Chains A and B, each alone.
Chain A
Amino acid sequence: DAGVIQSPRHEVTEMGQEVTLRCKPISGHNSLFWYRQTMMRGLELLIYFNNNVPIDDSGMPEDRFSAKMPNASFSTLKIQPSEPRDSAVYFCASSLGQGQINQPQHFGDGTRLSIL
C-alpha cells in the first residue's frame, strides 16, 4: 500500500520566494494534517482537514502560510513570501475517519525546507 506521499523531499530557495509543498494522503483517509518540525520547537500542528474542510488552522504561524485541500487526494501548504525562519521539516499525515483520537496518523517522509 502506498503511504502518504510528500513532494518535494528537499527544497532550497531564497528569502522572499513562494514555496509550495505537496501532499497526497493515503487513499480512503478522510483527515489530513500538516506539521512543522524544528529543533527548537519540536513537532507543531499547523492545520488539519476533515473531508477536505479545514477544521483548525490555529497553528498556522501567520498570514504568509496558507493550506488548501481541493480534493480528497491532494493538499498543498504554501508560504509566500518565505523567510529564513521558515526553514524546517514539514510533515503531512493522514488518518481514517474524521480524525478521531483512536485513528492514529500515518506520516509522510517530510519536506526539508531551507530558506537562504
Chain B
Amino acid sequence: AQSVTQPDIHITVSEGASLELRCNYSYGATPYLFWYVQSPGQGLQLLLKYFSGDTLVQGIKGFEAEFKRSQSSFNLRKPSVHWSDAAEYFCAVGPYGGSQGNLIFGKGTKLSVKP
C-alpha cells in the first residue's frame, strides 16, 4: 500500500539550532516528493519538491531535503532554525507521471521553536 510516514508528531528545537524532519514513504513506483509548510490559520505552502536528478534539493526559506531511495526517505533539513519557522510541516508523495489528485500527504510534524 502507498503511504507516507512522518514519525515525529511534535518536535521542539531551540532557535539557531539545526533541524531535521523525517519522512518515509512506501511507494511502488518512482515517487515525486514534496514538502509543504502550514503556519497557524493558513493554508499549505510549498517548500520544495523532488522529481529527479540531484538528490539534494533546495527550497524556500533556507530549507533543503535529501532523497534517499535506499532508505525510502525524504528528510527536510535546515541548518539554523528561526522563530518564524514554527509551523506544521507535511511531506507528500505522488506517482511519476500521475496527477496531483493522487498525492498522499503525511500526518504532519508540528515544529515549536524555543527562544
Contacts and interface: CB of A to CB of B under 8 A. Distances in A.
Contacts, number: 67
A101 B100 CA distance: 5
Contacts of A45: 101, 103
A91 B99 contact: no
Size band of the A side of the interface? 20 to 34
A48 B108 CA distance: 22
B28 interface: no
Nearest to A40: B107
Nearest to A44: B105
A116 B16 CA distance: 43
Interface in A7-43: 31, 33, 42-43
Contacts of B98: 100-101
Nearest to B52: A102
Interface of A: 4, 31, 33, 42-43, 45, 48, 55-56, 91, 93, 95, 98-110
Interface of B: 32, 34, 36, 41-46, 49, 51, 90, 94-103, 105-108
17 contacts: A33-B100, A43-B44, A43-B105, A93-B44, A98-B99, A100-B98, A101-B94, A101-B99, A102-B51, A104-B34, A104-B49, A105-B46, A105-B100, A105-B103, A107-B43, A107-B44, A107-B45
